[in-house]
Amino acid sequence: MRSDELFRRAVSLLPGGVSSPVRAIKPYPFYTDGGKGSRIRTCDGDELIDCCLGYGPLILGHANKQVADAIRSQLEKGWLYGTPTELEILMAERLIRDHRGIEMVRCVSSGAEATMAAIRLARGYTGKKKILKIEGGFHGAHDSVLIKAGSGATTLGIPDSAGIPPAIAELTRQVPYNDPEALEAILSSDEEIAAFIIEPVMGNVGTILPDKEYLKEVRAITEEHDVLLIFDEVITGYRLGIGGAQEKYGIRPDLTTLGKIIGGGLPIGAFGGRREIMEMIAPAGPVYQAGTFNGNPLSLAAGIATIDLLTGDPAFYSRLDAQARVIEESIPGTADGSFVRTGSMFTYFFRDAPPRNYIEAKESDTTRFGAFWKKSLASGIFFPPAQFESCFISSAHTDEDISRIAGVFSSCLN
């Protein structure tokens, strides 16, 4: 197999043979040769219906023509200047228009960079040194948030990676998702917390939905304790609809982080929020953030084209929702797992009831997931290769694609 040969070369050149741990599929990952629409082609000649979609960014599918045209047009003008361009203004106008929690915005190069800068900004604005996150919440692989989740109601941070000094981890506290009482308890006992960063819908441990009033309680509690609320919408931004989770659930966070879809499949990140907070960012204020590729013209061109397609089609999200519902309804009544979905984002947990938090999600049977994943791949469907990831569909998925995905769930879960 060509993928086997490539992996044998890679293991002596790249740590673990891959550029990101989630790609380390045993005994070796398949290598992709190209993608178009809803499908990817492997170097081994297989064609797969893609429900990973680059872990979420490709809501229009692979190689969308309008996005490709926007990239091509920008390429002809150049792809890096180190100066301002009108594109960053156009992107900012769209993000501010579409998000109730954004009044000013800074474009960066990745979602992880956006969360890192938002946390620094929260500390600089409040003068406090600690942050609070959700157990199991992932906000990028940087020191402040790469913290091992605990099993208690409120836990101190423990580094989740070698190389993170314990003194940094100790500045990060954690609470379970869907537990407003734990949030109230920790904020009542610690006045040094600058911000609470949360995925409003958890996506990096699989899709976990908020209880009916949870996010409203989160907003009320953080306001009561003068703690900034950061919505990490790197996954949910433009995935759950225009305005993301904050629009869907009617919450106005103090800061918002974005990525993935807003780059149309190219590297990008952004963070924004209330004007008085954002004006603390250099050069307007004392909180430093900079980057050679901030506001990269290619990423902005691709992202603007993507957002314009999404906002220009009133039926876009309802069509995706209807297709995802077909998949949901294909789950056999005899299946003893749980299908969790919001819009075009979903996870099948090998657990008898939908998890409400990280600890419950970790109770899923990963051995059974592994067997299901292999059967699905053999049937021509590529789901993310881990139980604790979200799956996605795109506007490029046809009714035939959806029927095949539904068929895999129906046959492989029986």
Range list of H helices, 235-288: 244-249, 275-278
Q: Does the residue 24 lie in any domain?
A: no
Let me know whether 300 and 319 are in one domain: no
Full pLDDT tens readout for the chain, 414 residues = 899 999 999 999 999 999 999 899 999 999 999 999 999 999 999 999 999 999 999 999 999 999 999 999 999 999 999 999 999 999 999 999 999 999 999 999 999 999 999 999 999 999 999 999 999 999 998 988 988 654 443 445 667 788 988 888 899 999 999 999 999 999 999 999 999 999 999 999 999 999 999 999 999 999 999 999 999 999 999 999 999 999 999 999 999 999 999 999 999 999 999 999 999 999 999 999 999 999 999 999 999 999 999 999 999 999 999 999 999 999 998 888 999 999 999 999 999 999 999 999 999 999 999 999 999 999 999 999 999 999 999 999 999 999 999 999 999 887
Question: Does residue 191 contact residue 126 with C-beta atoms inside 8 Å?
Answer: no
Of the candidates 376, 97, 115, which has an alpha carbon nearest to the alpha carbon of residue 259? 115
Let me know whether 141 and 230 are in one domain: yes
Cα distances (Å, whole numbers) of residue 340 to 150, 207, 323, 390: 23, 6, 15, 10
Let me know whether 254 and 299 are in one domain: yes
Q: Which pairs count as long-range contacts for 209-217, CB under 8 Å and 24+ apart, including other chains? A: 209/340, 209/342, 209/354, 210/177, 210/178, 210/249, 211/178, 211/356, 214/178, 214/180, 215/245, 215/249, 215/251, 216/249, 216/250, 216/251, 217/180, 217/183
Q: Does the residue 5 lie in any domain?
A: no
Q: Residues 56, 57, 60, 65: is their CA dihedral positive or negative? A: negative
Q: Does the residue 23 lie in any domain?
A: no
Let me know whether 139 and 124 are in one domain: yes
Question: Cα–Cα–Cα angle for 290, 293, 298, nearest 5°?
Answer: 145
Burial class (CB in 10 A: 0-12, 13-18, 19+), 54: middle
Q: Where are the beta strands (DSSP E) in 6-123?
A: 32-36, 39-42, 47-50, 104-108
Over the Cα atoms of the chain, what is R_g? 21
Q: Which of 278, 311, 344 is the last residue of a domain?
A: 311
Question: Does residue 154 contact residue 182 with C-beta atoms inside 8 Å?
Answer: yes
Let me know whether 192 and 149 are in one domain: yes
Q: Does the residue 8 lie in any domain?
A: no
pLDDT at 212: 96
Name every residue whose Cβ is closer than 8 Å to that of residue 239 and which is 6 or more positions away in sequence: 56, 59, 260, 261, 343, 344, 345, 392
Let me know whether 53 and 104 are in one domain: no
Q: Does the residue 247 lie in any domain?
A: yes
Model-wide pTM > 0.75:
yes
Let me know whether 271 and 222 are in one domain: yes
Let me know whether 220 and 357 are in one domain: no
Q: Is 37 left (phi over 0), alpha (psi -120 to 50) or beta?
A: left
Q: Which of 311, 334, 364 is the last residue of a domain?
A: 311
Name the residue range of residue 258's domain. Answer: 65-311
Q: Which of 311, 329, 359 is the last residue of a domain?
A: 311
Number of domains present in the structure of the chain: 2
Let me know whether 144 and 248 are in one domain: yes
Let me know whether 196 and 249 are in one domain: yes
Q: Does the residue 97 lie in any domain?
A: yes
Q: Residues 45, 48, 52, 55: is their CA dihedral positive or negative? A: positive
The structure tokens 């906000």 sit at 139
Let me know whether 146 and 185 are in one domain: yes
Give the number of other CB atoms < 10 A from CB of residue 323: 21
Give the number of other CB atoms < 10 A from CB of residue 75: 12
pLDDT at 152: 41
pLDDT at 148: 67
Distance CA(73)–CA(77), nearest Å, equals 7
Domain with 204 in it: what CATH number?
A: 3.40.640.10
Let me know whether 350 and 241 are in one domain: no
Structure tokens at 283: 């050069």
pLDDT at 156: 53
pLDDT at 414: 72
Domain with 397 in it: what CATH number?
A: 3.90.1150.10
Give the number of other CB atoms < 10 A from CB of residue 348: 25
Name every residue whose Cβ is closer than 8 Å to that of residue 388 and which is 6 or more positions away in sequence: 204, 205, 206, 361, 362, 364
pLDDT at 155: 46
